[in-house]
Amino acid sequence: MSDLIVAKNISKRYPVLNTASNRLKSLFSLIFSKKNSNDIVVLEGINLTIKSGESLAIIGKNGAGKSTLLKIISGVINASTGSINVHGSIGALLELGSGFHPEYSGRENLKMSAALAGLSEKNLEQNLNKMIEFADIGDYIDQPVKNYSSGMVVRLGFSVVTVTKPDLLITDEVLAVGDAQFQNKCISWIDSYLKNGGTLLLVSHSIYHVQKMCKNAIWLENGKIKKQGNAYAISQEYQSYYEKKKDGVKVSGDKDVSNYHVMSLKLFNDNGDETTLIDTNQNLTVKVQVFSPDNRPPGLTLGIVRKDIPVYGTISDNHNAIPKKLKNHLFEFTVKYKNIKLLPSDYEFKAHAMDPECLRIMDEESIEFRVHSKSTDLGVVILDTQWS
């Protein structure tokens, strides 16, 4: 695979201009090309290579520098220091509405955006209806974009990408704005795009999307690359990093209790007693109650980890599981694990509430449990073997 993007020692600083003194210092540092100690450092020392055909996710908490890095790669802003070489065309879906003229209709904006992306007049005529069909916004296509909802703007922007087919597609959380049906359509298109040699650079807070759509990931922390490597391993480590206990209390994060969320997570033995202690080869029943704001059956991911090492995880969608409705807005999943072959250790069950389409992970609850056994085997699980 050839190098599509090569970024070397990229840094980005913004001057602090809140007082006259700071404005004067920033002016002098600009004139004499010197660093100002008061500058806000957003990115520092970023070295990055994106190869053709790669699918790369950038993860990190808000303010880590993810969007700034995407803007530098896509040419929207310049880096303060460092160099970036681009060998191919870029299609960037960044801030909603960027590149669209609010007074022009959706149809007119499609023509302008496709032309600016390099589509010839002949190709534009051939593909205009394809873009309109993909956007699927009905009569709004001939209305001014200023009247569009955020979801409609996303549809318009993504439809341009589907016909221009850039060498590199950059997207920053825009899929989180569209409705579930359109998200599925976009994900299906991205899958096809990648299979045909396209390159993806994705910023998302959805670990599910990161693991589903990307092979590799970079973890940004305070403007620097903290870790990089396999998308699944990096995203799991990132997630567990922010779930560590603080003063004996698990940090819940930004849990939105008005949305789909886990109400309770409990473990039961064969006698129906609630427990957190089991033996190897014992049966175990897990009950998870999930709140649904719109009374639709929610989705669920359920997994077992040992010291932040994934042991087993699955999604309700994979099993066509429909939770039992206990009352308005409250559903319960019951999952039975037969003859659990875990070796002795401390483990955690982790439950993530999801939307009914199983596209977005909303929150997480976890419960610790311990496995006892007389086995002296090593590892995580007992495997069935035949010795001869």
Taking residue 192's Cβ as centre, other Cβ atoms within 10 Å add up to 11
**pLDDT tens by residue, the chain, 388 residues:** 688 999 999 999 887 655 565 556 655 555 555 665 567 888 999 999 999 999 999 998 878 889 889 889 988 888 988 999 989 888 887 765 567 888 999 999 999 888 888 888 888 888 899 999 998 889 999 999 888 887 788 888 888 888 888 899 988 766 655 566 787 788 888 889 999 999 999 988 777 788 888 999 999 999 999 999 999 888 878 877 765 533 333 434 445 566 889 999 999 999 999 999 999 999 999 999 999 988 999 999 999 998 768 899 999 988 999 999 999 999 999 999 999 999 988 899 999 999 888 877 888 899 999 998 888 788 888 888 889 8
Taking the C-alpha atoms of residue 248 and residue 251, their distance in angstroms, rounded to an integer, is 9
Domains of the chain with bracketed CATH: 1-88+167-176+197-247 (3.40.50.300), 259-372 (2.70.50.60)
User: Are the C-beta atoms of residues 366 and 306 closer than 8 Å to each other?
Assistant: no
Q: Which candidate, 348, 353, 305, 358, places its Cα nearest to that of 331?
A: 353
Q: Which candidate, 138, 123, 367, places its Cα nearest to that of 268?
A: 367
Q: Which residues, including other chains, have CB under 8 Å from residue 319's CB and lie 6 or more apart? A: none
User: Are the C-beta atoms of residues 263 and 257 closer than 8 Å to each other?
Assistant: no
